[in-house]
Amino acid sequence: MKFGKRLKQQIQETLPGWRDKFLSYKELKKLVRLVSSAPMLLNGSLEYGKAEEQFVYLLNSEIEKFNAFFMEQEEDFVIWHKELQHRIKRVIDTWGPNGSQPSDADCKAEMAKIRKDIVDFHGEMVLLVNYSIVNYTGLAKILKKYDKRTGGLLRLPFIQKVLEQPFFTTDLISKLVKECESTIDAVFPAEEEQRTREVREATTVAEEGIFRNTVAALQTMQEIRRGSSTYGHFSLPPLNLPDSELIQSFQLNSPIPIV
Amino acid sequence: MDARPALSIRRSGANQLSSMGISGPLSSSLPVLPTPLEETYPKLPDSQQVSMERELVTRPLTHVSHLSSDSGVVGHIFSSSSGFSSDLHYSSVSPHEKHSRNSPFISQSSTNGASLPFTHSSHSESLESTTSSHYLKENTASWHTDSLPSFLDFPVNTSIENGQVESSNCNGVLASEEFSKWADQLITDDDALTSNWNELLADSNVADLEPKMAYQVPKPSPNFPSHQSQVHLQLPAPSGEIHAVATPSSSAPAKPRMRWTPELHEAFVEAVNQLGGSERATPKGVLKLMKVEGLTIYHVKSHLQKYRTARYRPESAEGSSEKKLTPIEEMSSLDLKTGIEITEALRLQMEVQKRLHEQLEIQRNLQLRIEEQGRCLQMMFEKQCKSGIDKLKASAPSSDAVPDSPDKSELEDSQVDHGKTVTDPGSANTRMEERSPEQKAPEAKAPQNSEPDACESNSQPSKRPRKDE
């Protein structure tokens, strides 16, 4: 139940629009239990077949759900990516190559807006990649459970199929993320070390922003990979974050309860 | 009434089948056909119709390729346990075409007991229901509750149009195309399925049956992604992809999902600009200008909408996930000093995000590699046990049975034999498990290469005792 709990946590802390797009891990676990408890008689069991059918059906519809959501988001990202570039170009055209001229308030405002948007855009893309990986991990785990409980061999072919699915092929998104990072380097002024430290101390992530979700995602990933009771050759090694103290220092206040 | 001609056709079909040597229950149940339809439709098949269930399950699939007039009906075929009638009808209408395919199934079912086919049918039904739901996304709600009369109509329709239906594909060209392609693929894969089923039927050992059936269930499903990729190949849009979700219906239009890439989007923006901007451009015009094969007006429409939102209301667009005011924004209203603080806060956010992304990439690569290794291991175990069994059979052990470095092309063959259980994989497994905790995340390819070698060397000692026997 460890993964299930972590998944639940992550879902709770994720962006509101995404909450129902994650894997229905609990549902699937119920079905696995159903399948493993259904008697496997010599003349074939109605219940077993039905349960298995349900399980596979749910798996497939989940995958379809992931694909639909993922491609929808991807489309948005493609559009925004282009849009941001367009906006930056516009600023440069209007106010010259150095966007941070103190004389022009509009320019500054626009640049500030662009910077914020880029960072949020970057964050959202990363969260989508996280979404993809979390769901994949969930699928892998549930399939492993299924095979273990029922002695079936559903896992291998299914995972092969999953690997080809759009929601798992996140190459485009990663590419956009990298492009974003390089754009940001160009758009942000030079870093000042002292200020960074001050801000760092002061930051508490209070609301349901992208930043908060990112931190949550990192923490969750760390915890998921902390150590497994059922360690097999399909398990991931523990996560060693170089800056784990930094991450831990972000205080995540309890989210505003959604009625 | 429509039922009458349908019945007569069915009867002739039944006679045909009985002439092929079908057991009694078939013809006796024929007169009561209309009622079992109603009774058993929502439920899973009971033992009476068991012997016929199996082969008719594949029939509906091939049927579907010829019929795209009514989504409800199509859905019906899939979910109906008494597609029995459709099967008979099918065989009666086009006996010359599919006769050869009919007989192996039917003769098989008559020789085998009721037990095996029964579970097969439920599995295959799950196949169909899975896959059909996969495809009939729009109609998943409707097909369970669709009315019987349409089902009864169906045989009459196809009897008339069977030869012509394929060519007279109705609206939603893409959908029906996809659908028939999909069904075609299933037909071509039928041979593979047939051989599998023959294997299964011949094998009376239930212990083996379960894993094999479990394997059966997802097998056609992998066809779908490959089918989708087939679609990709056939519609070479400028690096755009269409993921087929076919909805063969006269009412609902086809809505395959489009995967937008930056290049495709650029073409889109070009077209929009040529037409005078996002406000003035119409979906039709853009579609025409873009000249991308496989792109439908629905894709363009929704994309245009998104584009407009992104252009003119960036706050609502980028905050589509209902982002609330962060502390950073609260500070934003003021002066230069705060401006720098904001920037720094943004930088921090950026750092964390970058970190997350890095870790995600690493994890993803790891997972891919793990799957890869798992596959190789699996394959090697199977080769090993295969050769082990061969050795047990043959008196003279062959020394060239040593597995080579993992060859992916052999994977399919090995997957078929997965039902056999061997103790060796278990021991080698534990050895792998001991080794994997030692691996840390960002290690180079070395572990991957050494693992197969290690496996090979492991397999050697386990072979030796056998050899000495």
Digit-coded pLDDT (tens) for A172-193: 999 999 999 998 888 777 655 5
State how far the Cα of B364 lies from the Cα of B370, in Å rounded to an integer.
10
- What is the average per-residue pLDDT within B263-273? 92
User: Angle, to 10 degrees, between the axis of helix A210-224 and the axis of helix A105-150?
Assistant: 30
Residues 23-52 of chain A whose Cβ lies under 8 A from any Cβ of chain B: 40, 42-46, 48-50, 52
Helix axes A155-163, B336-393, angle to 10 degrees: 140
Measured from the Cβ of residue B276, the count of other Cβ atoms closer than 10 Å reads 10
| Nearest CA-CA distance, residue B12 and chain A, Å | 32
Average pLDDT over residues B450-460: 44
DSSP class of residue B409? G
Q: How far apart are CA B30 and CA B307, in angstroms?
A: 59
Q: Are B324 and A208 in contact (CB under 8 A)?
A: yes
Residues in chain A closer than 8 A to B341 (CB atoms): 195, 198-199
Contacts of B273 (CB under 8 A, 6+ apart): none
Predicted confidence band of residue B272 (pLDDT cuts 50, 70, 90): very high
Is the CB of residue B448 less than 8 Å away from at least one CB of chain A?
no
H-helix or E-strand spanning residue B259:
strand B257-259
Look at phi and psi of residue B324 and say left if phi exceeds 0, alpha if psi is from -120 to 50, else beta. beta
User: Per residue in B406-419, pLDDT tens?
Assistant: 444 444 444 444 44
Angle at B164 between CA B162 and CA B167, to 5 degrees: 130
**pLDDT per residue over A4-41, tens digit each?**
888 888 888 888 888 889 999 988 888 888 887 776 65
| Contact (CB, 8 A) for B292 and B298 | no
Q: Which among B414, B412, B430 has a CA at the least distance from the CA of B380?
A: B414
CB B309 within 8 A of CB A76: no
Greatest Cα pair distance in chain B: 93
Kindly report the average pLDDT of chain A as a whole number: 78
- Nearest residue of A to residue B222, measured between CA atoms: A161
Residue B267 corresponds to which tokens in the numbers above?
């073409």
pLDDT at residue B395, rounded to an integer: 56
Nearest CB among A117, A209, A217 relative to B324 is that of: A209
Contact status of A207 with chain B (Cβ, < 8 Å): yes
Smallest Cβ distance to B218: which of A78, A129, A161? A161
B219 to chain A, any CB pair closer than 8 A? The answer is yes
**In the prediction, which pLDDT does A130 show?**
92
Residues of B within 8 A of A218 (CB-CB) are 352, 355-356, 359
A112 and B CB contact within 8 Å: yes
CB A77 within 8 A of CB A173: yes
Q: Which of residues 358-377 of B touch A (CB under 8 A)?
A: 359-361, 363-364, 366-368, 370-371, 373-375, 377
ipTM (interface predicted TM): 0.80
* Nearest alpha carbon to residue A81 among A33, A132, A117, A40: A117
Which residue of chain B comes nearest to A46, CA vs CA? B119
**Per DSSP, what are the bridge partners of residue B259?**
B241
**C-beta atoms of B123 and A235 within 8 A:** no
Nearest-Cα residue of chain A relative to residue B366: A236
pLDDT over 80 (residue A149): yes
For residue B116, the chain A residues in CB contact (below 8 A) are: 44
pLDDT for the residue A231: 58
User: Closest Cα of chain B to A177: distance in Å?
Assistant: 8
Q: Which of A225, A227, A232 is nearest to A148 (CA)?
A: A232
A38-55 pLDDT per residue, tens: 766 545 567 777 888 888
pTM score, two decimals? 0.54
Partners of B258 in beta bridges = B242
Determine phi and psi for A58, rounding to 5 degrees: -65, -40
Candidates B283, B236, B63, B255; CA nearest to B158 is B63
Q: Nearest CB to B206: which of A42, A133, A211?
A: A42
Interface test mutation site (partner B, options A54, A66, A76, A87, max chain B beta carbons within 10 A): A76
pLDDT tens for B192-211 read: 444 444 444 444 444 444 44
Give kind and range of the element (H or E) at residue B257.
Answer: strand B257-259
Write the residue in B259, B332, B341 that is nearest to A195 by C-beta. Answer: B341
Give burial (CB, 10 Å; 0-12/13-18/19+) of A256.
exposed
